[in-house]
C-alpha cells in the first residue's frame, strides 16, 4: 500500500488515537444518538431565544432603527460590531480545514469538522446583521447588481458592495467545503441508521460506496476546494476591514487594517473553536479524539495571533503619534482615556495580556484554563470591534458634534439572539452530522497501523 | 319611529356592507380631487405670495407669506419693508405653525361647571358676553397686546360705546423706560430709534439688540452694514458690550467688558464724564451736567461697576473721538427699578457724543394706538383683587404666565367672575378663562401695525381660517351690537375688513396689499438739546430684593422670547444660540460658582429668591458669566400646550426627581416644561412704572440630584481644525491670508493635477471668466477651484459662501431650513440622545484652545473666559464637496454627484446603511430613526408641509440639498426664455432669511456672480477642514477680529 501523501516523520511521532475502526464509528457516531432530555431543553431554549430576538427585530423593522442606540454621529453600533465579530469567528474553520490541509497538518483532523460547521453558521449569523443594521431592509436587495429596467446599478466603489460579495462568496464556498467533507461520513451514517435518517443520509451521501475511484475524486475535490478557500480566508476579512479602512474616519483609515483584521479573525475563530469544542468533547466523551495535543497546538495558534494583534495595537498607537496628525492623536487618546475607556481596556487586557498565559505548556494543556482564556478572547475580540467602530465614530473631525453611543436593550437582545442563533445551528448539527470527521480519523489510524507493520521505529 | 321600507332597508344594508368592507382595508382611500372651478390666482405648483406683517414680537417686520394651492407654507421677509428688508428671524418664521397648531381651539368654548371646556356656538357665546356686559359694563376691561393702530382705534371706540372700564395694553418686554427717559432727557415725547448702520462705534449697555430688543432683525442688518469689511477695509464700526454675561449679542462684539448687572447707568455716567473731559458736549451741556456727573469719576465708577478705571477712560475717549458713535441702553432682562435713570444716562451719553441726528433719531410717537403700560396693568390687578372687575377680556397676551407671581395675577384672575380669552390656542390664561372666543391667527387676519412713525404695515389673510374662529374686532363688535341698540349705534358699522380699508383710505389699498404697507420713513430732528431736568438725574444702583449671593438675570430667550414661542416646536428644537440646549430650562452659573457649590453640568440646584419663591433647575457652568450672577432664560415653564409643556405619559421625572412614568393616573397630564423664571422674580417697577426684570437676588443650594441636559453641541474647542476661522484685522490689512500656506501644501495632490495639466501644455485655466487671482492666494496656487467640480459642459456649479464676520448666531437660517425642507421635530428625549434632524446647525466655537485629547461628556470644556470674546458662530450644512467622501461609500448610489456639482440624495434609493454619514467629516447627514411623517406633524400640521420637498420615510438618510427645489423652480422660466438662471434668481431658504445676508448662493462658474466673487476672497476665504481635500462648494469667509477699541 502506497503511503498516503500526508505521511511524514512529524505525523508519525504525533500521538494518534489508538482505537479500532469500528470503535471510531461507534464513538463518533454515538454523538448522533437519540437526543436526551437536556439536549431537547437546550435546543428548546435556543429556539425560543432566537424567536424572541427575532420578535425584537420585527418590532425594529416596524418601528425604525430608533429603538437601537444610534445617535448622530455614531451610525454604526452593536449590529456592525457583531457582524464583524461573527465574520471573524468564521475564519478559523476555513483556516483549519483549508490552509492546514494544504500544509498537511494532520492534527487538525479532530477539530476540522466542527470548525467548518462553525464557519458556515458564523457566516450565516453574520449575514443576518447586514439585514438587521440597514434602515430599510425591504429595499436591501438594491445592494445586489440585478438587471432592471431603470438601469440602476450598484456602486462598485463602495466597500459595502465588496463586502456583500465577499460574504456571499465565503458563505457559499464554506458550505460547499463542509458538505463535500461530509460525504464519506454521510455514507457511514447511512449504513448505520434507520427511518427518516436513513432517507436523509442516503440522499446526502450522493451514492458514496467507498470505491477507490470515489476516494480519489473526493481527495482531489477537497484539495481543490482547499486551494479555493485559502485566498478567501485572507480576502474576506481584508474586505471587511476595508469597510473601515477605505473611509476617512480617524482610527479607521489605516493601511494596517487588512492583516490586522485577518489576524484578529483567526485569533477569535480559534478561541471560538475552543469555546465550542471543550464542552462538546466533555459531554460526548470524545477525549480520545480531541486530545491535549490538539489543545496545545490551538493554544500556540492563539498565542501567535494574539501577538500579531497586540503588535497591531502598538503600531496603530505608534503611527498615530509618529504621524503628527492631530485628528489621529486626539482620537487615540480618546480611545484609551475617554469615556469609553472600559471597552478599550477590556480589549487590551483580553486580547493581549491574558493570552500571554499560553506561553506555558501547562496552561495550553489544562482544559479549564484554556476554556477560560478562550472566553476572554471572545469577549476581547467583540470589544475590539466595538472600540474600532463606536469610538472611532464618536470622535471625528468636527468637535461640535462629537457624540456618545450607548447600546439599547433592543440591540443587546439581538446580540444575545445571535449567539443563540449560532448555537442553535451547532446544536442541531451535532445531532445530525458527525462532529468529528470519521473518515479522516480512520485515515490517521490506517497510517498508524501501516507504520506499525513496517516496524521501522 | 318612521317606517323602514324595503328600499331603505336595502340601502342601509348596502351602505353598511360597503362601510364594513372599506373599514376592512388597511389604508383609508384618499382621493385627489381637482378644482371644479379653479381660482384665478392659483396655478398648481406655483406659489402665490401675500404681503403681511409679522406679529411674533412688536418689531413689526414685513412678511411675504408663501402659499401653495391655498395654504401658507413658508414665511419670508418682505424685501420692500424698511424694518427687515427681506429677512426674517427664527421666531417670525416659526410663527407659521400657529395657524396649523394642533392646540388650536376648534371654535368657541365654554367652561362648564366641571371645569371642562365644551363647544358653544358663536351666537350663544356672543349673547352670553353681551348679557354679562348688560349687567354693568363698568367692570369690564380689555387686556391684551397692541393689536395695531386701526384695531386699537376700534377697540377704544368699543370701550367707549359699551362703557367698559378701560383697555390695557400689555407687552412683557415693552421698552417703556426708553420713551420715559427720552421725555426726561430731551424734554419732549419722542421715540428714540437707533440706527447702527452709520455708526463707527457701538456701545451696548447690556442691550441684547441682536436677540430681542425692539427690532432685532433690523439691528442685526444695521450692525452688519456698519461692519462690512468690504465697504470698510479699516474694519468698520467697533462694538463694545458692557454686561455680566457673554450673550449671543455680546459674542458679536469686539470687546466684552463684564460689568456688574444694574451698573449700566453708572457706567454711562462715568463714560459721559470722560467724554466731556475729552471735548465732547457743548459748554451749556457741560454746565448742566457738572453737578450730576460729580460722583462718577472713573475711579469711583470702577468700584461700583466692576469695570476698571483704565477701561472706562479708554472707551470714554474712544466715544469722544468717534464720528458717529451710538450707545444702546440697558433693556430686556436688565431693566431694573432704576431703568429710566439708566436709560436716560445712556441717552445723555448719546447726546454728548453727537449721536442724535446721526445714529439716533428722535421720532414722534405714533399718534394712533396705545402704548403698553405696566402701571395700568398693576392697577387693573388691584381692581381685580378687590372684586371691581366683573368681566375681563384677554387677547393676544398670556398674563397668567408672564406676570410675576408676587403680583398674584392668577389669584386675581380667579376673583373675576367672567374671564373671556381670545386666544386661538391653549395657554395659561385661557386655561383659567370661562369663555374662549378664539381669534384668527395673524395669517388669517386683517390688520395693520406701525413699527415706528411713518412706517405703516398691513396684515392680510393668506388663508381662510382653519378653525371656527373670528377676528378679534369682529367678535367684539358683534358682542357690542348684541348688548343693546344704543351701544350698537355708537359702534362703527361694517366688519373689521371694511374699517381697515377705511383707515387706509389715504392710500391705494390694493397697492398697499401688494407692497405690504406704506413706508414713508421719517427722520427726527438733526439735533436735540438736553432738558434742564437732566440736572436731577438720579442714577444709582438698583435695589434688588431677596437674600442670596447671586443676582438673578431673567433674560428674554432669543428663541422663545417672553414665552410666546414655547409652543412652537421649531423654537423649542432650535438650540439656544449660546449654550446649544434645547427643550429645557437651565441655570447659567460661572465655573467658580459651580466649583464652590460642587456642581457639574446637569446637577440640579434649588434656587430661592425669598418668600415661597423657589424652583429646581439644572445648572450649566460657563466661563462667560460673572461670578456674582446666575442667568435663567424666560420662556419655559409652561403648563399648557402640546410642545410648551411636558406630557407625563412620555415618561419624565417630576420636579422632585420621582419617576412619574408609567403611572397610569398620570397619562396625558401636562406638567411644566422647565422653569418659569418669572415666578421667581420679585415684582418691581422702574421710576416711571415700567416693568423691571432685574429685581431679585437668588440663593442656590445643591439639590443632590442631576438631570440630563439636552446639549446639542459637544465641544466649543475647535483645536485649530480649520472650522470657524478668524483673521485679525492687522493681518487682513497686511494682506495675509487665513489659509496657512503650509496647509495648502497638504492638499498638494490637486495642486499637482493642475500643474500636470500645465506641463502637458494644456491650459491650466479655470472655467471662462474666473479671474486668475481667484486661483491664487498670496501668489500660491490655491488647492482647487470649486467651479471644476461640475460635469464638463454644465453651465452651473452651485456654491455658497458664508461670511462668519456677519453671522451673529441668531439661528434664523436654521428655522428657515426646518420649515422649507419639512425637517422633522424629534422632541426632548430624542434630542438628549443626539437625534436632532436639522440640516443646518450653528456650531459655536470659542477660539482655538489647547488640544484637550480626551474630553468627556458634553459640554467638555468651555474656553470662555470673563472679558474674552472669541466666539465664532459657524453655520454648518452640507458642503456639497467636489470630492465628497459620502459618495463613493454608498453601495447603491443613493448619494451621488449631480452634473451641476450638487451632492444629490435620492431618498427612494437609500437603503440606510448610514455609511455616508460615517464618512462625512462635517457630520451634516441625518438619519430617519423613526417614521417622522407619522409622528412629527400631528393634524392639521401636515397642511403646512412644503409640497416641493419629499417627506422622508423611516430608515433613510437626509441632508441639506442647497434647496435644490428652489434651483429647479428657477430652471423652468430660464428654460422657457432660453437663458441661464440668473445670479440671484435662486436663494436657498437659509440665505433668504439671514438678517445680515451672511449667506450667498449662486453659480460658481459665473465669474460675475456674487458668490463667485465672495468665494474667491483671497484673504478671508477658506474651506472647512481644508486638509481633507474634500473640495467643498461652501466657502467660509473668516471672521475678522478687530480687537479692543483703542484711542
Contact B854 A334 (CB under 8 A): yes
In chain B, helix, strand, coil percent, each to 5? 30, 20, 50
Number of domains forming the structure of chain A: 1
Distance separating alpha carbons of residues A400 and B713, to the nearest angstrom? 5
- Dihedrals phi, psi of A351, to nearest 5 degrees: -95, -30
Predicted local confidence at residue B72, as pLDDT: 94
Q: Is A168 on the interface with B (CB under 8 A)?
A: no
Per the CB < 8 A criterion, the answer to whether B718 and B861 are in contact is no
Distance separating alpha carbons of residues B834 and A402, to the nearest angstrom? 10
Distance separating alpha carbons of residues B396 and B438, to the nearest angstrom? 10
- SS3 of B408-450: the string is CHHHHHHCCCEEEECCCECCCCHHHCCEECCECCHHHCCEEEE
Contact A75 B927 (CB under 8 A): yes
Contact B911 A143 (CB under 8 A): yes
Contacts of B719 in chain A (CB under 8 A): 326, 330, 399
Residue A444 belongs to some domain of the structure: yes
Which of B834, B856, B1025 shows the shortest C-beta gap to A72?
Answer: B834
Judge if B744 and B656 occupy the same domain.
Answer: no
| Alpha carbon of A250: minimum distance to chain B alpha carbons (Å) | 10
| Alpha carbon of A259: minimum distance to chain B alpha carbons (Å) | 22
Candidates A59, A63, A70, A72, partner chain B, best to mutate (most B CBs within 10 A): A72
Candidates B885, B892, B922, B1024, partner chain A, best to mutate (most A CBs within 10 A): B892
Contact A140 B911 (CB under 8 A): yes
Q: Is A142 on the interface with B (CB under 8 A)?
A: yes
B804-818 pLDDT, tens digit each: 999 999 999 999 999
User: Using a CB cutoff of 8 Å and minimum separation of 24, what contacts does B579-583 make?
Assistant: B579/B620, B579/B622, B579/B711, B579/B859, B580/B711, B580/B712, B580/B713, B580/B844, B580/B859, B581/B620, B581/B709, B581/B710, B581/B711, B581/B712, B582/B710, B582/B712, B582/B828, B582/B831, B582/B836, B583/B673, B583/B710, B583/B827, B583/B828, B583/B831
Q: Select from B363, B389, B424 the last residue of a domain.
A: B363
Residue A2 belongs to some domain of the structure: no
**Which of the residue ranges A20-34, B11-25, B202-216, B771-785 has the most confident prediction, judged by mean pLDDT?**
B202-216
Provide the residue range defining the domain that includes A63. 9-144+169-448
Give the lowest-confidence range in A407-411, B276-280, B910-914.
Answer: B276-280
Distance separating alpha carbons of residues B17 and B11, to the nearest angstrom? 10
Angle between helices A367-386 and A257-284 (to 10 degrees): 140
Q: Domain containing B254 — which CATH number?
A: 3.40.228.10
Residue A283 belongs to some domain of the structure: yes
Contacts of B859 in chain A (CB under 8 A): none
| Alpha carbon of A58: minimum distance to chain B alpha carbons (Å) | 14
Candidates A70, A399, A406, A409, partner chain B, best to mutate (most B CBs within 10 A): A399
Contact B955 A154 (CB under 8 A): no
Angle between helices B264-277 and B298-305 (to 10 degrees): 160
Judge if B678 and B757 occupy the same domain.
Answer: no
Distance separating alpha carbons of residues B327 and B201, to the nearest angstrom? 8
Nearest chain A residue to B746, by CA: A325
Contact B721 A160 (CB under 8 A): no
Judge if B694 and B604 occupy the same domain.
Answer: yes
Contacts of B954 in chain A (CB under 8 A): 64-65, 135-136
- What is the per-residue DSSP string for B209-221? TTTTSS-HHHHHH
The closest alpha carbon to B455, from B171, B221, B218, belongs to B218
Judge if B194 and B260 occupy the same domain.
Answer: yes
- What's the average model confidence in pLDDT over A192-204? 87
Per the CB < 8 A criterion, the answer to whether B826 and B932 are in contact is yes
Mean confidence (pLDDT) of chain A: 86
The closest alpha carbon to B232, from B724, B727, B729, B726, belongs to B729
**Which of the residue ranges A25-29, B776-780, B956-960 has the most confident prediction, judged by mean pLDDT?**
B956-960
Q: Which residues touch B528 (CB under 8 Å, ≥6 apart)?
A: B186, B351, B356, B357, B362
Give the lowest-confidence range in A181-195, A385-399, B346-360.
Answer: A181-195
Q: Is A75 on the interface with B (CB under 8 A)?
A: yes
- Coil/strand/helix, residue B46: strand
Give the lowest-confidence range in A95-104, B47-56, B390-399.
Answer: A95-104
Buried b (16+ CB within 10 A) or exposed e, A51-64: eebeebbeebbeeb
Nearest chain A residue to B844, by CA: A400
B204-230 pLDDT, tens digit each: 999 999 999 999 999 999 999 999 999
Please report the residues numbered 358 through 397 in chain A whose beta carbons come closer than 8 angstroms to any beta carbon of chain B: 393, 395-397
Judge if B661 and B745 occupy the same domain.
Answer: no
Predicted local confidence at residue B741, as pLDDT: 52
Q: Residue B743: is its pLDDT beyond 60?
A: no
Predicted local confidence at residue B561, as pLDDT: 92
Predicted local confidence at residue B648, as pLDDT: 62
Contacts of A134 in chain B (CB under 8 A): 911-913, 955
Contact B714 A75 (CB under 8 A): no
Judge if B743 and B649 occupy the same domain.
Answer: no
Number of domains forming the structure of chain B: 3
Q: Specify which residues B479 forms β-bridges with.
A: none
**Exposed/middle/buried for residue B623 (C-beta within 10 Å: 0-12, 13-18, 19+):** middle
Predicted local confidence at residue B740, as pLDDT: 62
The maximal CA–CA distance of chain A, rounded, in angstroms, is: 77
Distance separating alpha carbons of residues B1031 and B1024, to the nearest angstrom? 9
Distance separating alpha carbons of residues A317 and B998, to the nearest angstrom? 42
Nearest chain A residue to B1026, by CA: A397
The answer, yes or no, to whether the previous bond of B554 is cis (omega within 30 of 0) is no
- What's the average model confidence in pLDDT over B180-187? 92
Judge if B755 and B654 occupy the same domain.
Answer: no
Q: Residue B856: is its pLDDT beyond 50?
A: no
A45-70 pLDDT, tens digit each: 999 999 999 999 999 999 999 999 99
Q: Residue A227: is its pLDDT beyond 90?
A: no
Q: Residue A339: is its pLDDT beyond 90?
A: no
Contact A64 B929 (CB under 8 A): yes
**Exposed/middle/buried for residue A359 (C-beta within 10 Å: 0-12, 13-18, 19+):** exposed
Predicted local confidence at residue B755, as pLDDT: 60
B120-136 pLDDT, tens digit each: 999 999 999 999 998 77
Q: Residue A104: is its pLDDT beyond 80?
A: no
Q: Which residue has the higher pLDDT, B774 or A362?
A: A362
Residue B943 belongs to some domain of the structure: no
| Alpha carbon of B802: minimum distance to chain A alpha carbons (Å) | 18
Contact A135 B717 (CB under 8 A): no
- What is the per-residue DSSP string for B912-923? ---HHHHT-TT-
**Exposed/middle/buried for residue B510 (C-beta within 10 Å: 0-12, 13-18, 19+):** exposed
| Alpha carbon of A320: minimum distance to chain B alpha carbons (Å) | 13
**Exposed/middle/buried for residue A101 (C-beta within 10 Å: 0-12, 13-18, 19+):** buried
- What is the per-residue DSSP string for B110-134? EE-TTS-EEE--HHHHHHHHHHHHH
Contacts of B874 in chain A (CB under 8 A): 400
Q: Residue A318: is its pLDDT beyond 60?
A: yes
Contacts of A326 in chain B (CB under 8 A): 719-721, 851
The maximal CA–CA distance of chain B, rounded, in angstroms, is: 105
Q: Residue B522: is its pLDDT beyond 50?
A: yes
Which of A64, A152, A327 shows the shortest C-beta gap to B955?
Answer: A64
Predicted local confidence at residue B129, as pLDDT: 94
Residue A346 belongs to some domain of the structure: yes
The closest alpha carbon to A115, from A222, A228, A274, A306, belongs to A274
Q: What pLDDT band is residue B69 in, cutting at 50, 70 and 90? A: confident
In chain A, helix, strand, coil percent, each to 5? 75, 0, 25
Query: Could you give the percent of chain A with pLDDT greater than 70?
Result: 88
Question: End-to-end CA distance of chain A, in Å?
Answer: 18
Residue A154 belongs to some domain of the structure: no
Predicted local confidence at residue B749, as pLDDT: 40
Per the CB < 8 A criterion, the answer to whether B467 and B438 are in contact is yes
- Dihedrals phi, psi of B141, to nearest 5 degrees: -130, 145
Count of all residues that appear for chain A in the document:
457
Q: Residue B38: is its pLDDT beyond 90?
A: no
**Which of the residue ranges A5-14, A446-455, B207-216 has the most confident prediction, judged by mean pLDDT?**
B207-216
Q: How many CB atoms lie within 10 A of CB B323?
A: 12
Predicted local confidence at residue B765, as pLDDT: 47
Distance separating alpha carbons of residues B384 and B393, to the nearest angstrom? 12
B454-493 pLDDT, tens digit each: 899 999 999 999 999 999 999 999 999 999 999 999 999 9
Provide the residue range defining the domain that includes B764. 726-782+796-805+980-1041
Q: What pLDDT band is residue B342 in, cutting at 50, 70 and 90? A: very high
Contact B889 A160 (CB under 8 A): yes
Residue B219 belongs to some domain of the structure: yes
Judge if B578 and B640 occupy the same domain.
Answer: yes
Number of helices followed by number of strands (H, E) in chain B? 32, 41
Residue A295 belongs to some domain of the structure: yes
Q: Residue B851: is its pLDDT beyond 70?
A: no
Which of B892, B919, B927 shows the shortest C-beta gap to A247?
Answer: B919
Residue B487 belongs to some domain of the structure: no
Q: Select from B340, B363, B386 the last residue of a domain.
A: B363
Judge if B670 and B778 occupy the same domain.
Answer: no
Q: How many CB atoms lie within 10 A of CB A407?
A: 17
Q: Residue B1: is its pLDDT beyond 50?
A: no
Distance separating alpha carbons of residues A328 and A316, to the nearest angstrom? 10
B699-733 pLDDT, tens digit each: 999 998 888 899 888 678 887 788 888 999 998 89
ipTM, two decimals: 0.90
Nearest chain B residue to A162, by CA: B891
Amino acid at each position: 500500500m502506497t503511503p498516503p501523501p500526508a505521511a511524514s516523520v512529524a505525523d508519525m511521532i504525533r500521538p494518534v488515537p489508538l482505537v479500532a475502526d469500528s470503535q471510531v464509528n461507534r464513538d463518533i457516531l454515538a454523538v448522533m444518538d437519540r437526543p436526551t432530555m437536556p439536549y431537547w431543553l437546550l435546543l428548546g431554549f435556543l429556539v425560543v431565544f432566537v424567536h424572541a430576538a427575532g420578535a425584537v427585530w420585527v418590532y425594529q423593522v416596524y418601528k425604525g432603527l430608533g429603538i437601537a442606540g444610534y445617535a448622530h454621529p455614531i451610525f454604526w453600533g452593536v449590529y456592525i460590531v457583531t457582524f464583524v465579530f461573527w465574520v471573524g469567528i468564521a475564519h478559523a474553520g476555513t483556516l483549519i480545514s483549508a490552509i492546514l490541509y494544504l500544509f498537511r497538518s494532520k492534527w487538525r483532523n479532530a477539530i476540522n469538522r466542527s470548525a467548518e460547521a462553525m464557519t458556515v453558521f458564523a457566516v450565516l449569523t453574520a449575514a443576518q446583521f447586514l439585514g438587521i443594521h440597514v434602515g430599510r431592509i425591504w429595499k436591501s436587495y438594491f445592494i445586489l447588481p440585478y438587471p432592471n429596467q431603470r438601469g440602476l446599478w450598484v456602486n462598485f466603489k463602495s466597500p459595502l458592495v465588496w463586502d456583500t460579495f465577499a460574504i456571499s462568496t465565503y458563505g457559499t464556498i464554506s458550505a460547499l467545503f463542509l458538505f463535500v467533507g461530509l460525504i464519506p461520513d454521510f455514507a457511514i451514517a447511512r449504513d448505520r441508521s434507520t427511518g427518516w435518517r436513513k432517507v436523509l443520509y442516503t440522499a446526502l451521501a450522493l451514492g458514496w460506496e467507498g470505491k477507490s475511484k470515489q476516494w480519489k475524486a473526493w481527495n482531489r475535490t477537497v484539495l481543490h476546494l482547499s486551494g479555493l478557500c485559502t485566498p478567501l480566508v485572507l480576502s474576506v476579512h481584508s474586505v471587511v476591514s476595508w469597510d473601515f479602512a477605505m473611509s476617512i474616519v480617524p482610527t479607521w483609515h489605516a493601511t494596517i487594517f487588512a492583516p490586522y483584521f485577518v489576524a484578529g479573525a483567526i485569533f477569535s475563530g480559534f478561541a471560538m473553536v475552543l469555546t465550542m469544542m471543550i464542552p462538546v468533547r466533555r459531554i460526548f466523551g470524545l477525549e480520545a479524539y480531541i486530545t491535549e495535543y490538539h489543545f496545545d497546538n490551538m493554544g500556540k495558534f492563539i498565542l501567535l495571533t494574539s501577538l500579531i494583534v497586540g503588535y497591531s495595537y502598538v503600531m496603530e498607537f505608534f503611527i498615530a503619534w509618529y504621524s503628527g496628525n492631530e485628528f489621529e492623536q486626539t482620537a487615540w487618546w480618546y480611545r484609551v482615556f475617554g469615556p469609553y475607556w472600559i471597552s478599550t481596556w477590556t480589549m487590551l487586557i483580553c486580547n493581549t495580556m491574558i493570552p500571554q498565559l499560553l506561553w506555558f505548556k501547562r496552561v495550553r494543556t489544562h482544559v479549564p484554563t484554556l476554556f477560560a482564556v478562550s472566553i476572554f478572547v471572545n469577549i476581547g475580540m467583540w470589544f475590539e470591534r466595538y472600540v474600532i467602530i463606536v469610538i472611532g465614530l464618536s470622535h471625528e473631525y468636527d468637535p461640535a458634534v462629537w457624540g456618545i453611543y450607548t447600546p439599547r436593550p433592543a440591540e443587546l437582545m439581538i446580540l444575545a439572539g445571535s449567539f443563540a442563533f449560532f448555537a442553535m445551528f451547532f446544536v442541531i448539527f451535532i445531532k445530525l452530522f458527525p462532529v468529528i470527521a470519521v473518515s479522516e480519523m480512520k485515515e490517521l489510524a490506517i497510517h498508524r497501523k501501516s507504520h506499525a507493520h513496517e516496524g521501522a521505529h | 319611529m318612521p317606517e323602514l321600507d324595503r328600499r331603505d332597508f336595502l340601502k342601509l344594508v348596502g351602505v353598511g356592507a360597503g362601510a364594513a368592507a372599506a373599514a376592512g382595508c388597511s389604508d383609508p382611500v384618499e382621493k385627489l380631487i381637482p378644482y371644479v372651478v379653479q381660482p384665478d390666482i392659483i396655478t398648481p405648483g406655483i406659489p402665490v405670495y401675500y404681503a403681511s406683517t409679522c406679529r411674533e414680537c412688536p418689531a413689526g417686520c414685513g412678511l411675504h407669506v408663501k402659499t401653495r394651492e391655498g395654504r401658507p407654507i413658508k414665511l419670508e421677509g418682505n424685501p420692500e419693508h424698511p424694518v427687515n428688508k427681506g429677512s426674517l428671524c427664527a421666531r417670525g418664521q416659526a410663527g407659521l405653525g400657529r395657524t396649523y397648531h394642533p392646540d388650536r381651539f376648534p371654535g368657541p368654548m365654554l367652561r362648564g361647571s366641571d371645569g371642562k371646556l365644551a363647544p358653544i356656538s358663536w351666537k350663544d357665546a356672543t349673547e352670553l358676553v353681551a348679557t354679562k356686559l348688560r349687567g354693568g359694563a363698568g367692570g369690564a376691561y380689555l387686556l391684551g397686546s397692541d393689536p395695531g393702530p386701526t384695531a386699537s382705534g376700534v377697540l377704544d371706540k368699543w370701550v367707549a360705546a359699551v362703557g367698559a372700564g378701560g383697555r390695557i395694553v400689555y407687552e412683557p418686554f415693552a421698552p417703556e423706560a426708553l420713551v420715559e427717559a427720552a421725555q426726561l432727557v430731551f424734554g419732549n415725547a419722542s421715540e428714540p430709534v437707533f440706527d447702527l448702520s452709520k455708526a463707527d462705534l457701538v456701545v451696548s449697555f447690556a442691550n441684547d439688540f441682536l436677540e430681542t430688543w425692539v427690532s432685532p432683525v433690523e439691528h442685526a442688518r444695521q450692525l452688519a452694514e456698519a461692519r462690512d469689511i468690504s465697504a470698510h477695509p479699516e474694519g468698520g464700526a467697533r462694538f463694545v458690550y458692557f454686561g455680566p454675561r457673554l450673550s449671543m449679542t455680546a459674542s458679536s462684539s469686539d470687546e466684552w467688558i463684564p460689568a456688574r448687572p444694574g451698573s449700566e447707568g453708572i457706567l454711562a455716567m462715568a463714560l459721559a464724564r470722560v467724554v466731556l473731559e475729552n471735548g465732547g458736549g457743548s459748554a451749556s451741556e457741560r454746565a448742566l451736567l457738572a453737578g450730576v456727573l460729580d460722583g462718577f469719576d472713573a475711579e469711583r465708577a470702577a468700584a461700583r461697576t466692576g469695570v476698571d478705571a483704565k477701561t472706562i477712560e479708554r472707551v470714554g475717549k474712544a466715544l469722544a473721538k468717534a464720528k458717529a458713535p451710538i450707545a444702546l441702553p440697558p433693556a430686556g432682562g436688565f431693566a431694573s427699578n432704576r431703568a429710566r435713570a439708566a436709560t436716560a444716562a445712556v441717552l445723555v451719553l448719546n447726546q454728548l457724543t453727537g449721536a442724535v441726528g446721526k445714529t439716533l433719531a428722535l421720532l414722534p410717537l405714533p399718534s394712533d394706538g396705545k402704548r403698553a403700560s405696566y402701571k395700568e396693568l398693576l392697577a387693573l390687578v388691584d381692581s381685580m383683587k378687590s372684586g371691581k372687575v366683573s368681566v375681563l377680556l384677554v387677547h393676544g397676551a398670556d398674563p397668567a404666565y408672564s406676570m410675576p407671581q408676587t403680583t398674584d395675577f392668577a389669584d386675581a384672575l380667579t376673583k373675576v367672575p367672567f374671564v373671556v380669552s381670545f386666544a386661538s390656542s391653549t395657554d395659561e390664561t385661557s386655561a383659567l378663562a370661562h369663555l374662549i372666543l378664539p381669534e384668527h391667527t395673524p395669517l388669517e387676519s386683517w390688520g395693520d401695525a406701525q413699527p415706528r412713525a411713518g412706517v405703516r404695515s398691513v396684515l392680510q389673510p393668506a388663508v381662510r381660517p382653519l378653525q371656527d374662529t373670528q377676528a378679534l374686532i369682529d367678535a367684539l363688535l358683534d358682542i357690542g351690537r348684541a348688548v343693546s341698540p344704543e351701544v350698537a349705534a355708537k359702534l362703527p358699522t361694517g366688519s373689521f375688513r371694511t374699517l381697515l380699508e377705511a383707515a387706509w383710505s389715504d392710500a391705494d389699498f390694493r397697492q398697499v396689499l401688494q407692497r405690504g404697507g406704506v413706508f414713508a420713513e421719517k427722520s427726527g430732528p438733526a439735533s436735540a438739546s438736553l432738558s434742564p431736568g437732566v440736572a436731577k438725574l438720579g442714577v444709582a444702583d438698583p435695589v434688588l430684593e431677596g437674600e442670596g449671593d447671586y443676582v438673578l438675570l431673567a433674560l428674554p430667550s432669543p428663541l422663545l422670547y417672553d414665552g410666546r414661542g414655547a409652543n412652537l416646536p421649531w423654537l423649542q428644537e432650535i438650540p439656544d444660540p449660546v449654550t446649544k440646549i434645547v427643550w429645557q430650562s437651565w441655570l447659567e452659573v460661572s465655573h467658580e460658582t459651580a466649583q464652590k457649590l460642587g456642581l457639574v453640568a446637569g446637577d440640579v440646584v434649588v434656587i430661592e429668591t425669598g418668600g415661597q419663591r423657589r424652583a429646581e433647575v439644572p445648572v450649566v457652568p460657563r466661563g462667560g458669566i460673572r461670578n456674582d450672577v446666575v442667568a435663567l432664560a424666560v420662556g419655559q415653564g409652561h403648563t399648557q400646550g402640546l410642545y410648551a409643556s411636558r406630557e407625563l405619559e412620555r415618561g419624565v421625572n417630576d420636579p422632585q426627581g420621582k419617576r412619574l412614568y408609567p403611572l397610569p393616573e398620570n397619562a396625558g397630564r401636562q406638567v411644566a416644561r422647565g422653569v418659569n423664571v418669572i415666578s421667581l422674580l420679585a415684582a418691581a417697577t422702574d421710576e416711571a412704572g415700567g416693568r423691571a426684570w432685574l429685581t431679585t437676588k437668588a440663593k442656590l443650594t445643591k439639590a443632590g440630584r442631576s438631570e440630563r441636559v439636552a446639549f446639542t453641541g459637544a465641544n466649543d474647542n475647535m483645536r485649530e481644525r480649520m472650522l470657524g476661522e478668524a483673521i485679525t484685522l492687522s493681518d487682513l490689512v497686511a494682506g495675509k491670508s487665513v489659509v496657512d500656506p503650509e496647509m495648502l501644501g497638504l492638499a498638494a495632490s490637486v495642486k499637482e493635477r493642475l500643474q500636470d495639466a500645465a506641463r502637458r501644455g494644456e491650459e491650466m485655466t479655470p472655467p471662462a471668466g474666473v479671474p486668475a487671482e481667484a486661483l491664487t492666494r498670496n501668489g500660491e496656487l490655491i488647492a482647487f477651484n470649486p467651479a471644476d467640480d461640475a460635469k464638463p459642459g454644465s453651465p452651473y456649479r452651485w456654491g455658497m459662501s458664508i461670511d462668519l464676520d456677519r453671522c451673529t448666531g441668531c439661528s434664523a437660517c436654521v428655522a428657515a431650513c426646518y420649515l422649507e425642507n419639512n425637517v422633522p421635530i424629534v422632541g426632548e428625549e430624542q434630542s438628549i440622545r443626539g437625534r436632532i434632524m436639522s440640516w443646518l446647525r450653528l456650531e459655536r466655537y470659542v477660539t482655538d484652545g489647547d488640544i484637550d485629547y480626551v474630553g468627556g461628556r458634553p459640554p467638555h470644556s468651555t474656553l470662555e473666559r470673563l472679558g474674552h470674546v472669541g466666539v465664532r458662530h459657524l453655520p454648518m450644512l452640507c458642503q456639497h464637496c467636489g470630492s465628497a467622501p459620502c459618495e463613493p461609500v454608498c453601495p447603491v448610489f443613493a448619494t451621488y454627484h449631480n452634473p451641476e456639482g450638487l451632492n444629490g440624495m435620492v431618498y427612494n434609493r437609500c437603503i440606510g446603511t448610514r455609511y455616508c454619514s460615517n464618512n462625512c467629516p462635517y457630520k451634516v447627514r441625518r438619519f430617519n430613526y423613526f417614521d417622522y411623517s407619522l409622528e412629527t406633524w400631528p393634524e392639521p400640521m401636515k397642511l403646512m408641509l412644503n409640497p416641493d420637498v419629499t417627506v422622508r420615510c423611516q430608515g433613510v438618510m437626509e441632508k441639506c440639498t442647497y434647496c435644490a427645489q428652489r434651483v429647479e423652480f428657477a430652471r423652468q422660466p430660464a428654460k422657457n426664455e432660453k437663458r441661464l438662471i440668473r445670479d440671484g434668481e435662486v436663494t436657498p431658504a437659509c440665505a433668504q432669511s439671514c438678517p445680515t445676508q451672511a449667506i450667498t448662493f449662486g453659480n460658481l462658474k459665473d465669474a460675475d456672480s456674487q458668490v463667485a466673487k465672495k468665494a474667491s476672497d483671497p484673504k478671508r476665504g477658506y474651506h472647512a477642514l481644508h486638509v481633507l481635500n474634500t473640495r467643498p462648494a461652501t466657502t467660509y469667509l473668516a471672521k475678522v477680529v478687530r480687537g479692543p477699541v483703542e484711542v
